[in-house]
């Protein structure tokens, strides 16, 4: 992979920084990777080579590129961090046979000199980002350099529809004022490096956030990514405390924030924050957005959040959700439980029962039981598959002298001798 032609130029919305990305070992088309912001923040967006290198690292690993060459000077700590990040993802997802892309740069960058800068975060208006921001307000006084003052809202990750993004931006800007941060709109096509959802979820999105943060290194020197999970439930994932620091540099420290709070504890922090609950946005179903409301109230994420608010006695005041009552049928229709979400529902059962909502708790218990049954079946199939594979290998070694293995490995024919 080659990253060349790094440049600043005029964009659709204001200032843009861009680079040409060319694949060398994968049959994929070249693209013009860009980051863009509006005129008010134009001077804060810089053509930082790290913003492009960090974004390209995981796609290069995923698609088997032998190297990543960037026609710019790169800091040695960034190269070292990306090497560690690739090793973590390889260890978690691909196995040790997956080759690592070698990073080659046109030179070595020395630490840049910037004036006073600020702490920021990626801000979607959801429970994770709001919970992390609220905790930050409790821990750090306003004058502390780690007190978050800016929120990056990104178009091109959840939706590329500019009209829908403008609707989100308008709604979230009011929430940003209530929460005491400056909202910075960002436009990018970085997801087009690879649009596979599983790759995004399990390997890519942390790198994308860090790459965007480096594009704003003139303004921000500390950027937080809100944690999805708390410490007991953290698992190998595309955003993880072991990965976040790997994407840091002498210019920007990437933090994994909110790791000590469960999702229900974050929800309580948000529910107790004056004026915030009426503007919270958890829904990704942009096709269901209404002019006065961004939460559809019927999808998995919405219903999960509404259940948490019900346990806190705060659902009636959450005007950011439809006013329809939370019923057993609604939960049964909306809730799907997976390995990545089961912990969010388990912590709701006891509080729901305590509030007398045994009907809702029962549905969640039934859903969790069905999930556990599916998981056990998968485990059994996996064990049986491994057992059968081992028996075939023993048979091949004992009676076929390894001919079956050679045929499958090299595409050759089994000798009749």
Q: Is residue 154 part of a domain?
A: yes
Angstrom distance (rounded) from CA 96 to CA 239: 21
Q: What is the mean pLDDT of residues 132-153?
A: 95
Q: Residue-wise over 153-192: b if at least 16 C-beta within 10 A, else e?
A: bbbbbbbeeeebbebbbebbbebbeebebbbbbbbbbbbe
Of 22 and 281, the structure prediction assigns the larger pLDDT to 22
pLDDT the model gives residue 144? 95
Q: Which of 102, 90, 103, 141 is nearest to 119 (CA)?
A: 141
Pairing status of strand 253-257 against strand 118-122: unpaired
Report whether pLDDT(127) > 90. yes
Report pLDDT digits (tens) over 319-328.
Answer: 889 888 899 9
Domain that holds residue 28: 2-257
pLDDT the model gives residue 413? 47
What's the pTM value of the predicted model, to 2 decimals?
0.88
pLDDT the model gives residue 414? 44
Q: What is the mean pLDDT of residues 372-388?
A: 75
Please tell me the total count of domains within the chain: 1
Angstrom distance (rounded) from CA 209 to CA 248: 11
**Angle at the Cα of 319 (from 327 to 335), degrees rounded to 5?**
35
Q: Is residue 325 part of a domain?
A: no
Q: Is residue 150 part of a domain?
A: yes
* Structure tokens, 405: 């293995």
Of 277 and 21, the structure prediction assigns the larger pLDDT to 21
Tokens 């994770």 — which residue?
128
Q: Is residue 262 part of a domain?
A: no
Report pLDDT digits (tens) over 22-68.
Answer: 999 999 999 999 999 998 999 999 999 999 999 999 999 999 999 99
Angstrom distance (rounded) from CA 35 to CA 13: 11
Residue 410 banded pLDDT, cuts 50, 70, 90:
low
Report whether pLDDT(286) > 90. no
Q: Is residue 39 part of a domain?
A: yes
* 60, 213 Cβ separation under 8 angstroms: no
Angstrom distance (rounded) from CA 114 to CA 120: 16
Q: Is residue 81 part of a domain?
A: yes
pLDDT the model gives residue 412? 47
Report pLDDT digits (tens) over 93-114.
Answer: 998 889 999 999 999 887 766 7
Report whether pLDDT(118) > 60. yes
* 171, 136 Cβ separation under 8 angstroms: no
* Structure tokens, 79: 């190269």
Q: Is residue 253 part of a domain?
A: yes
Q: Is residue 266 part of a domain?
A: no
């Amino acid at each position: 992979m080659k990253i060349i032609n790094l440049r600043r130029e005029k964009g659709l919305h204001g200032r843009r920084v861009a680079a040409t990305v060319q694949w060398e070992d994968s049959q994929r088309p070249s693209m013009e990777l860009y980051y863009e912001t509006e005129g008010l923040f134009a001077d804060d967006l810089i053509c930082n080579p790290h913003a492009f290198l960090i974004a390209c690292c995981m796609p290069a690993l995923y698609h088997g590129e032998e190297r990543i060459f960037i026609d710019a000077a790169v800091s040695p700590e960034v190269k070292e961090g990306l090497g560690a990040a690739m090793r973590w993802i390889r260890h978690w997802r691909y196995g040790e046979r997956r080759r690592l892309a070698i990073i080659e740069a046109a030179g070595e960058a020395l630490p840049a000199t910037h004036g006073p800068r600020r702490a920021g975060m990626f801000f979607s208006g959801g429970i994770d980002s709001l919970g992390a921001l609220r905790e930050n307000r409790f821990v750090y006084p306003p004058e502390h350099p780690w007190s978050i003052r800016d929120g990056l809202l990104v178009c091109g990750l959840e939706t590329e529809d500019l009209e829908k993004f403008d609707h989100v931006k308008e709604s979230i800007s009011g929430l940003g004022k209530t929460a005491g941060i400056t909202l910075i709109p960002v436009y990018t096509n970085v997801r087009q490096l690879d649009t596979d959802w599983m790759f995004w979820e399990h390997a890519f999105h942390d790198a994308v956030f860090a790459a965007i943060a480096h594009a704003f290194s003139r303004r921000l020197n500390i950027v937080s990514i809100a944690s999805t999970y708390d410490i007991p439930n953290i698992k190998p994932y595309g955003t993880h405390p072991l990965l976040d620091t790997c994407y840091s540099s002498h210019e920007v420290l990437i933090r994994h924030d909110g790791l000590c709070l469960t999702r229900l504890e974050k929800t309580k922090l948000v529910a107790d924050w004056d004026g915030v609950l009426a503007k919270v946005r958890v829904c990704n179903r942009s096709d269901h957005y209404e002019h006065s409301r961004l939460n559809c109230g019927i999808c998995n994420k919405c219903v999960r959040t509404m259940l948490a608010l019900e346990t806190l006695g705060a659902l009636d005041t959450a005007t950011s959700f439809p006013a329809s009552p939370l019923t057993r049928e609604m939960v049964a229709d909306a809730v799907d439980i997976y390995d990545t979400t089961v912990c969010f529902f388990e912590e709701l059962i006891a509080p729901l029962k305590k509030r007398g909502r045994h009907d809702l708790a029962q549905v969640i218990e039934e859903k969790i039981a069905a999930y556990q049954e599916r998981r056990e079946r998968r485990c059994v199939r996996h064990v049986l598959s491994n057992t059968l594979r081992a028996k075939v290998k023993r048979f091949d070694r004992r009676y076929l002298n390894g001919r079956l293995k050679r045929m499958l490995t090299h595409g050759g024919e089994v000798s009749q001798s």
